[in-house]
Amino acid sequence: MHGPYACAPSETSVTINWLASAPVTGRVDYGRMDAFSATGELPLTTPWVGPAPDTDAAERRHVTLNDLDPNAEYAYRVVLQDETGDTASRVGRFVTAPPPGQPVSFAVLADTQWQWEGVNRLEAVNDAIAADGTPFDFILHAGDLVESPASPNWDHWFASFDDMLRLTSFLPVLGNHEGNHRSYYDAFVLPPGEDKQDERWWALHWGDVVIVGLDTNVTQAAKIIAQQEWARLHLSGPEPHKIVMFHHPVFSSDAYHGSGYGYDKIYHPIFLECGVDLVINGHAHNYERIRRDGLTYVVVGGGGAVPREFADQCVEGSIRAIAGYNFYMRVLASQDGIHVEIVSVATATDDTFELTDGHLLDAFTVGRESVARQIMETLLVLCAIVGTAVTGWLVVRGFMR
């Protein structure tokens, strides 16, 4: 069984997903986390009916829970029912979107794939994220979830990340290893988007944060233009924190892949125009932070794939470049800006893998300048209003002519 796991969260809904080994009927039990913690009960239920009994294939389900409370934490479990009785999953968690002004916390990983021998590196990353202790609103994945989109690879991926997936909702984008394959769309329900199943690229509006997920596997000019328009539309909203995520790096010092995909011309000007704070990429199996034209790019391809080295010369604007680690990214967006921490999981090569103490590989904050600028502009406007009012009062009173 894959899951259950939550996807496509919003202010009042979420979709619970799983793959059962055989078609059955059952239900999703859910309720507010505070009540569940006090009573151990999940009072709300959404039932479903399985396919015809003579169907032998495994069954994937997507059940959407609606009419949820905004800005709330929920617990849920899936209960499968057959002739032998009920089988309940472990309890999972999700949250609904907050109003503006609330902090937003999430984790990011990329390039999990599959190492064929030795330690299960994916499970090590799963264990680290599950033990993090941060109440993440959601978890992002910047592509290359699996080595190839075949069923055994997905089986291994879901088994390895079971604990992480119970923490909160999960939102990936396509990597080149998924290849826009049907199995990706079968497994995940994503926020509203466009193109294939209206999910190939998407946007999540979450309180003070907007995250635009794109697909950089596309080569057709019309689809690239459609994504440019999508990005410009959703990055032009009221959210003060603007983040973009897609697989291939705009800039990278990686010795194998590096830059050169053309996204510096396709997307970088749009990101500058819209005031994007942070762009998240994968594909290169290392960590790098790059600053170009005031915009921060991070390459976070350390989710389990074998790390790769950098070229002899780093690209322009490279601030920090670290090879030889598997890791994940922890993010807190608040009125102070977007604070990012890169959390080590293990040192790794083709042949070795050794867990770390979870020390930080990097930590930085972006967006604070824009917030401070907004505050300063507001103060200047208020001063101008107050100054005009005081001047008018003095004129009326005869002190100024």
Where in the chain are the domains? 2-95, 104-366, 375-401
- Tokens standing for residue 371: 């917030």
Q: Is the pTM of this model over 0.85?
A: yes
CA distance 268 to 270: 5
192 or 387: whose pLDDT is higher?
192
CA distance 120 to 241: 35
Q: Specify the CATH class of 2-95 in words.
A: mainly beta
Query: Do 2-95 and 104-366 show the same overall fold?
Result: no
Considering Cα of 156, then 160, then 163, then 165, what sign does the dihedral take? negative
Q: Average pLDDT in the 339-346 region? A: 98
pLDDT at 398: 54
Q: Topology of domain 104-366, per CATH?
A: Purple Acid Phosphatase; chain A, domain 2 (3.60.21)
Q: Which helix (H) or strand (E) holds 274?
A: helix 268-274
Sort 102 into a burial class: Cβ within 10 Å, 0-12 / 13-18 / 19+. Answer: middle
Q: Where in 97-168 does DSSP place strands (E)?
A: 104-109, 138-141
pLDDT at 256: 85
Q: How confident is the model at residue 58 (pLDDT cuts 50, 70, 90)?
A: low
227-281 pLDDT per residue, tens: 999 999 999 999 999 999 999 999 999 998 776 679 999 999 999 999 999 999 9
Average pLDDT, the chain: 90
